[in-house]
Amino acid sequence: MPTVAEIFETMVYGPAPESRDPARAWLDGHGRELQLFINGTWVAPQSGQYLETRSPADNQPLARVAAAGPADVDAAVAAARAAFPAWSALPGHARARYLYAIARQVQKQARLLAVLESLDNGKSIRETRDIDIPLVARHFYYHAGWAQLMASELAGYVSLGVVGQIIPWNFPLLMLAWKIAPALAMGNTVVLKPAKFTPLTALAFAEIVQAAGLPPGVVNILTGDAGQVGDTLVRHPDVDKIAFTGSTDVGRSLRRATAGSGKRLSLELGGKSPFIVFDDADLDSVVEGVVDAIWFNQGQVCCAGSRLLVQETIAEPLYAKLRERMEKLRVGDSLDKAIDIGAIVGPVQLETIRGLVQQGVDEGATLWQPSWACPTEGCYFPPSLFTNVAPAATIAQVEIFGPVLVAMTFRTPSEAVALANNTRYGLAASVWSDNLNLALDIARRVKAGTVWVNSTNLFDAAAGFGGYRESGFGREGGREGLYEYVRPAWDERVGSMQYAVGSDDAVGSRQYAVGSDDAVGSRQYAVGSDESDGRRQAAVGSEDGVGSSTQNSKLKTQNSKLKTQPAFPPIDRTPKLYIGGKQARPDSGYSRPVYGPEGHLLGEVGEGNRKDIRNAVEAAHKAAGWADSTGHSRAQILYYIAENLAARAAEFAARLVASTGQAPEQAGAEVEASIDRLFTYAAWADKYDGQVHHTPIRNVTIAMPEAIGVIGIACPHEHPLLGCVALVAPAIAMGNTVVVIPSEPHPLSATDLYQVFDTSDLPAGVVNIVTGARELLTRVLAEHDDVDALWYFGTAAGSTLVEEASAGNMKRTWVNYGHPRAWHDPVQGAGPEFLREATQVKNIWVPYGE
């Protein structure tokens, strides 16, 4: 034992262990055997089977934990279903009190939770005590507030129902809080499955739920194996939503497993986040930032800054400083308060890390590790730095999920952005520079859901967290996260069962001419009625205004003319496809006939195929600069489109009459509603703002809605003009570019828009239109890896196809499961839901102060 004087001389750390007594007492209190938490009580698994959980710090067993099976999943879902009506009907204030009580209980049990988490996961007690557990309490406090405010702030939205939640092992209790707090606040009941490696704090949380007096069945916790519990939960017919955090591969399988079921899905997946350092950054701060970015939680962090991108001129000095700092990092027992890096969660994960590190060496990168050795008992891996890494190397692309940093260099800001975005993921990024203008510009250009400026790994309940691209979709935290747990009140579809029925198979026949929501349309827009008149004139504001009695009679005359023989043979007008701002001949060389309601030939349109879709996607990508244009400019162009459509309103209405057989009044109302939609989204283009979140550290957290990229849009067959405009307008208003498949039986209204677009200053490639067989073309879009989102309004079978085939690149999808939507209705057919679907929120954290 060294003397105090010697310690002053050498400055070596001694052990500073946190007592494991609270955890030991808790485990002993349960006889070291933990049951399932169903309907407010502890229940033995029906299979009678248990799994062992061990401490990765010393490989010693901690407890046996129940292994739930399908019958237990049924029981838990039934309990959650039974609890749902009363829980969702509680006033928000009552739910707020429960959430507040949970937050208080978490704080009271903080020491037990911190120690238990460290033991079960191997993470350092400093982190569980100072980061994980305080953030858990914060999430429940924050969402108690949203429960209180739900009725006023989310008016028009209601709870979803029973939510199945599946979480990983890296932040066991924190991930539980991210899932359960918003779900309960919004009036849902939950069945949660913790990861097999780390079940203990979820079970301790069950006791907190009991202590807070939550009604039985509101929270149910099922431990066990992924195949038994996770899979059954995901496929359970009485679950309304799955919220998942975990690896991208499992996320992809969940996307496929839930496809077409109508279950809502949010996926928080993996990452390979860039940590970008410019030559004017403060290198000492950068080094501490890197420590937090990649050695926090042993690098087992979804948003770990695992790719260090350094401006070339400072690369060597930074590497030297890093090596010096790494030499001083301490790896050891998770309960030692003086360690920096704890144990890897388990032998399997340790082997994965070892394998990838070896692959990095084999592929020619240079590995550096500190001179000291890790403890030999338990699962430890030293902090590691790879330099000389090719951007395409496995270690530069694959999530290692361990304490391994991969460094690359760049010369210019644009090169930094290109390298940063050279990944299939898009979870987070850090940007380090003393030039805030540069840092914010890079933050804007990097494709990631969270960007930290001169900081890293900052989290708070008030800021949404979630990914772009293959890092998943949906947000947790912030106002943006609440929408994952509610649905519009008008949308009566609940759960998966009802989705099997609806289909628009009738589409294509003339039945669709009078769509099921026509009643709504005529109610709202009834041409000639007193209310609609004022509105009509205001919207159209020109003598072309459709719907006036003169106009109506004009339409009728035109319509009857259309039905009688013209004096001369009509000039053949076969619209081609509309790609990159030009009419393009379809690759097939074929066209398809378009028939009117009586079966007579109305004209022909191009027969688009796979190659045409590929060309359209390419054109849409070329027009990506549209996202950088100002909201004001986009609004101007939308107004201009509206103006040009209004100028040709009679012609468009006549086309609708001829195509669908609908009454001229209805056709006029459809044109008018389309003009109204264009005005609506022109209005929103410069008003759909973000927020500045109140995160409790000295910083500005800017939540910015951004364009998603290229959106594929398969239009409904009904309302051939309005169905198209109502979808295209919000998408382009928010800065996306689109590839549109118009109504298959009635494509001519969409192809007539070519000339409107051409005369409205719409840049080439922002809107691309490919006519043809909707389902075939939709599949091509769904399978296309360069399409970022896909909206589909068609059949139930088509919706299933879209969700399944989109799993390839995890594109965001918005489908209708075969259910018609009232396109004329301003609540169903327009509004914030469309804007949310057209954007993704990026949270940029900018600290202030010296």
CA 561, 565, 568, 573 torsion-angle sign: positive
629 is a contact residue toward ligand NAP (CB under 6 A): no
Torsions phi, psi for 155 (to 5 deg) = -60, 140
Compute the distance between CA of residue 492 and CA of residue 139 in angstroms, rounded to an integer: 30
841 forms part of the interface with ligand NAP (CB under 6 A): no
Annotated catalytic residue 715: no
Give the 3-state secondary structure of residue 516.
coil
Judged by CB under 6 A, the residue of 191, 302, 734, 781 near ligand NAP is 302
The answer to the question of residue 398 lying near ligand NAP (CB under 6 A) is no
Give residues with Cβ within 8 angstroms of 178, minimum separation 6.
139, 245, 465, 476, 477
Compute the least distance from the CB of residue 401 to ligand NAP, in Å.
6
Quickly list H helices, 461-605. Answer: 478-482, 518-525, 530-540, 549-563
Check residue 65 for interaction with ligand NAP (CB under 6 A). no
Strand, helix or coil for residue 621: helix
Nearest-angstrom CA–CA distance, 521 and 656? 15
Active-site residue, 302 included: yes
Amino acid, res. 812: R
Helix 649-660 / helix 748-758 crossing angle, nearest 10 deg: 160
> Least distance to ligand NAP from the beta carbon of 192, Å?
10
Dihedral sign for Cα atoms in the order 682, 684, 685, 687? positive
Instruction: State the minimum distance, in angstroms, from the CB of residue 696 to ligand NAP.
Output: 20
β-pairing verdict for 162-166 and 41-43 = unpaired
400 with 414: CB under 8 angstroms?
no
* 268 or 504: CB nearest ligand NAP: 268
Pick one of 132, 399, 672, 837: the residue that binds ligand NAP (CB under 6 A): 399
Tell me, what amino acid is at 556? K
Answer yes or no whether residue 402 interacts with ligand NAP by CB under 6 A.
no
* CB of 808 or CB of 831, closer to ligand NAP: 808
Piece of the chain touching ligand NAP by CB under 6 A; list 267-275, 486-494, 684-692, 777-785: 267-275
Residue of 302, 374, 379, 715 marked catalytic:
302
Establish if 703 lies at the interface with ligand NAP (CB under 6 A): no
Q: How far is the CB of 582 from ligand NAP (least distance, A)?
A: 41
Beta bridge partners of 268: 245, 472
Give the residue with the Cβ less far from ligand NAP, 166 or 748.
166
Structural tokens at position 210: 């009991």
Nearer to ligand NAP, 252 or 821 (CB): 252
* Closer CB to ligand NAP, 225 or 758, in the complex: 225
Closest approach of Cβ 108 to ligand NAP, in Å?
26
Any contact of residue 253 with ligand NAP (CB under 6 A)? yes
**Binding status of residue 168 toward ligand NAP by CB under 6 A:** yes
**Residue 698 beta carbon to ligand NAP: minimum distance, rounded to whole angstroms:** 24
CB of 80 to ligand NAP, least distance (A): 17
Taking the least distance from each CB to ligand NAP, the nearer of 148 and 228 is 228
Q: Is the CB of residue 660 less than 8 Å from the CB of residue 515?
A: no
List the one residue out of 494, 643, 478 whose CA is nearest residue 139: 478
Residue 82 to residues 131, 209, 215, 487, 702, Cα–Cα distance (Å): 35, 17, 11, 20, 40
247 near ligand NAP, rule: CB under 6 A: yes
Residues across the chain: 850
Selected binder of ligand NAP within 92, 172, 182, 230 (CB under 6 A): 230
Extract the tokens encoding 679. 């005005």
Q: Which residues of 259-358 form beta strands (DSSP E)? A: 264-268, 274-277, 307-311
Q: Which stretch binds ligand NAP (CB under 6 A): 15-23, 168-176, 693-701, 779-787?
A: 168-176
63 or 726: CB nearest ligand NAP: 63
The residue with its CB nearest to ligand NAP is: 230
- Residues 188-217: x where in contact with ligand NAP by CB under 6 A, - otherwise, as a string: -----x-xx---------------------
Selected catalytic residue, list 18, 268, 604, 670 = 268
Site string for ligand NAP, 549-588 (x = CB under 6 A): ----------------------------------------
- What minimum distance in Å lies between the beta carbon of 554 and ligand NAP? 58
- Check binding of 170 to ligand NAP (CB under 6 A): yes
Chain residues 438-467 in contact with ligand NAP, contact rule CB under 6 A: 467
Query: What burial class does residue 437 get, using C-beta atoms within 10 Å of its C-beta: 0-12 exposed, 13-18 middle, 19+ buried?
Result: exposed
Minimum Å distance from CB 153 to ligand NAP?
24
Dist CA 178 CA 137 (whole Å) = 10
CB of 230 to ligand NAP, least distance (A): 2
How many Cβ atoms are within 10 Å of 151's Cβ, its own excluded?
12
Could you give the C-alpha distances from 353 to 299, 382, 422, 539, in angstroms and in order? 10, 11, 22, 62
Contacts of 649 (CB under 8 A, 6+ apart): 540, 544, 545, 546, 551, 668, 671, 672, 675
Q: Considering only the stretches 165-173, 372-380, 528-536, 789-797, report the one whose residues sit in contact with ligand NAP under the rule CB under 6 A.
A: 165-173
Instruction: Give residues in contact with ligand NAP (CB under 6 A).
Output: 166-170, 193, 195-196, 225-226, 230-231, 234, 245-247, 250, 253, 268-271, 302, 399, 401, 427, 467
Report, as residue numbers or ranges, the catalytic residues: 268, 302
